[in-house]
Amino acid sequence: MNRELELLAPAGNIEIFKTNIDAGADAIYFGGEKFGARAYADNFSFEDAENALKYAHLRGRNAYLTVNTLLKNVEIERELYDYIKTYYEMGLDAVIVQDFGVFNFIKEAFPEISLHASTQMTIANKYGADYLEKCGADRIVTSREMSLDEIRDISLKTSVEIETFVHGALCYGYSGQCLMSSLIGGRSGNRGRCAQPCRLPYALLDSDLNKVNTRGDYLLSPKDLCGINHIVAMDEAGIYSLKIEGRMKKAGYAGGVVSMYRKYVDAYISGDYSKLSKVDEQTLYSLGNRSGFTDSYFFRHNDNNMMSYEKSSFENTADPVVIQESKVPVNGHISAKIGEEISLEISYKSPINYDKKLVCVKGDIVQEAMNKALTREQILEKVQKTGNTDFVFEKIDIQMDDNIFLPISRINDLRRRALEEVELHILKSTKRVATKGLDEVVKSFCDYEADDMQMPVNIAYVRESQQMDAVLKSDIIDAIICDFNMIIYGNNKMLTLEAIADNISSINKLINTRHKQMVIALPIVFRKRNQSQVEQIVESVKDKDIMLMASSYDELGYLEECGFNKNKIILDSRLYTFSNIALKSFEALGYKHFTAPVELNKSELAHRINENSYLCVYGRICMMVTANCQVNNSKGCTHIPELNYLQDRYKMHFPVRNVCGPCYNEIYNSKIYNIMSEAGTIMNMGFGGLRLDFTIESYSETSEVLKEFENVFYKNKSANLLGDIYTKGHWRRGVE
């Protein structure tokens, strides 16, 4: 395409912000004092942000604020409006957002600001990108796991800008789908406080708890991404913004990496591109890496060479990179004629060329010299002294009479006032005024009322046939959610599309004989590789009384395109509805069935509108969904679903399922989530239904849980399933 690309760099503080601008970044993303995914970075005060925006805008660059966390009701109701309003009016260019409620709140309150859908929204195909574009997104930050071919599909399907990570640390799990830090230590990645337990050592055990040989102990720690050799391929895939990771990194790292990418992006744009030289490769390596680099998933779905098995620490061996401060180039024209006011006209340089609109400032009347005349050299010297301002004169023309006089201080004053006018002239176009107040914004959501609906009251999610056999015998379960792999696999092999349709019919018939509803869970991550299977499922159920459970915006986009009945769609907890604004945003689009998030505590859940939502009261919570596969890494791909375990340093065992259809791993908590002992409180919280999740339970274990559920919720008996193997998760503590 050979079109201009945006080089996007991170900043953890204002020093790094300016360094990265000076190093050649076209745009900077940064976090404020609230709601960013790097809560432990220095982050920016409002004063810092205003200075940073001024620095960027004077140089023709952009600045994006990260609001890429999930927000609770109280935060949206009391804090979000004033927080964004301050940035909006100071000229912020865009907001990077994860939460669908926040997304719609900002769109409603501040319509002139651009909305970027964060990688935390887990967009992994063209349907999700198209869906969010129609919802108002100006840019999609793709999942790090996407190949360039998949990204190309987005560029062909939509007109939305595409932003992709090209350098820096990689998460092991899909961003936005990881609850590992949250459940193990109470520090939620969805709230910007990830403690990175993935960087710790683990052992891989088979289903009998025997150790499996691996290349090292850091099984969840990828190498750092480096995509500098693929700039051409990324541009041809339709990527507009090349994103460097590192808001927690130091200025020396950030500036050095940015300047290196600037060099190669400019070479590509000018038609003089070549792959990384050995010298530059070593420089980039020394600036920081984690056991080397990987080009990640750009060309491969799964690759054990991307892992830093032997150590997980980030290493920097380079001397600090010194980046020269950039200045805004201007041209000046001075007129100094006897009997007329001295004037200074300034034209300033935009990113493309000199602006034709001039700033002209006039000063004192020029006098005829009685003694020593003012020289051309003196005028030039004083006007060129721009000092600590953001400007530098590239050229100054002087038209003057001979034998003139003017105090030197008046020339200094003329220069100062002229440069102030230039600054105001450049910045005035970025300023805005919010026209909607908070009450008006909130009212636009509260006015919407969901339609009356009927939903199955008690639902059970099953992943194995023996679990279904147990659930079928329960009289209190109204619907059964069948795992995606149960639908597309049979006898340890992938079914043909025709066999998938037959499998759905036979399972539905079996469920209907027990007067229950069938629900099919679509994959947690919807990728191009399993699109034909999803298409077959949707085609097979659209005219039947079978519901679907969606976990991603990609699936919502696909189902929307198919015209699938939204009354037959249940939104899983991974389509986060932390706030009532998020709920109302989905309801306004026609969705009627939700699942409560697992990271809210009981008081926060009580403050949420729950009448159309399910609450999960039992199950192993999936902490992480990963494109990288432990089976493939350890013994090679078998295409056979199986169960393994990760063992941590405390000898805790985390079940790992390789879900071979959509080709991802699900890593579950070592303890089973169980809040059935809180039945009294739960029954007073107004939930539309309750949910049980079965993962690795046997027939007898599933039956025992179902009996417990019936005893506690329907026979008013005390809870029996208690002990160290169970956890109440965030029921009491919640997340910060």
* CA geometry: angle 531, 535, 539, nearest 5 deg: 175
Strands 161-168 and 241-244: parallel
- pLDDT above 70 (res 3): no
As a whole number of angstroms, the distance between CA 460 and CA 695 comes to 11
Residue found by looking up tokens 């003329």 in the block: 414
Rounded percentage of the chain residues whose pLDDT exceeds 90: 82
* pLDDT 10s digits, 259-283: 999 999 999 999 888 888 999 999 9
Which residue is it, tokens 């559920």?
709
The residue-averaged pLDDT of 706-716 equals 96
Looking at residue 353, its pLDDT comes to 47
pLDDT for the residue 273: 84
CA distance 140 to 241: 10
Do residues 553 and 525 lie in contact, with contact meaning Cβ atoms separated by under 8 Å? no
Find the mean pLDDT for residues 447-462.
Answer: 75
DSSP character for 307? Answer: B
User: Which residues contact residue 333 at a Cβ distance below 8 angstroms, ignoring those fewer than 6 apart?
Assistant: 344, 345, 346, 396, 397, 398, 399
C-alpha distances (whole Å) from 550 to each of 132, 169, 378, 524, 538 are 15, 29, 73, 8, 12
C-alpha 234/C-alpha 644 separation (Å) is 36
pLDDT at 447: 59
Closest CA to 580 of 44, 57, 104: 104
- Domains assigned to the chain: 6-179+218-306 (3.20.20.70), 328-430 (no CATH), 454-620+676-715 (3.20.20.70)
Distance CA 711, CA 40 (A): 45
Distances (CA, A) of 50 to 279, 425, 427, 554, 708: 38, 16, 11, 36, 57
d(CA 137, CA 114): 7
Crossing angle (nearest 10°) for helices 497-513 and 465-472 = 30
CA separation for the pair 695, 596 (Å, rounded) = 19
SS3 (DSSP) at 392 = strand
4 pLDDT more than 90: no
Lowest mean pLDDT, pick from 219-223, 311-315, 619-623: 311-315
> Token pair of 11, please?
């900043």
The predicted structure's pLDDT at residue 422:
92
Let me know: does 101 contact 126? Beta carbons within 8 Å.
no
Query: Can you give the pLDDT at residue 348?
Result: 81
CA dihedral for 247, 249, 252, 256, sign (positive or negative): negative
Distances from the Cα of 326 to the Cα of 25, 55, 58, 662, angstroms? 12, 10, 11, 48
Given a cut of 90, is residue 385 above it in pLDDT? yes
Q: What 8-state DSSP symbol labels residue 734?
A: -
**Cα-based distances in Å from 433 to 81, 84, 268, 427, 436:** 13, 12, 39, 14, 9
Q: Percent of the chain having pLDDT more than 70?
A: 97
pLDDT of residue 352: 44
Residue 19 CB contacts under 8 Å (≥ 6 apart), including other chains? 251, 254, 255, 323
Does the pLDDT of residue 37 top 70, yes or no? no
Query: Against a cut of 0.85, is the pTM above it?
Result: yes
Query: CB of 155 within 8 A of CB of 149?
Result: no
pLDDT for residue 381: 94
Spell out the residues 6+ positions from residue 235 whose beta carbon is closer than 8 angstroms to its own.
1, 2, 3, 5, 268
What pLDDT band is residue 456 in, cutting at 50, 70 and 90? confident
Query: Can you tell me the distance from the alpha carbon of 432 to that of 265, in angstroms, rounded to the nearest whole number?
Result: 32
Q: Where is average pLDDT lowest: 107-121, 268-282, 379-393?
A: 268-282
Whole-angstrom Cα distance, residue 518 to residue 481?
Answer: 6
What pLDDT is recorded for position 95? 98
The amino acid sitting at 133 is: E
Q: List pLDDT tens digits, range 321-357.
A: 788 999 999 999 999 999 999 999 999 865 544 456 6
Average pLDDT for 16-34: 94
Instruction: Please identify which residue in the block is written with the tokens 């990527």.
Output: 239
Tokens of 384: 């060129």
Tokens of 372: 């020593």
Q: How confident is the model at residue 248, as a pLDDT?
A: 72
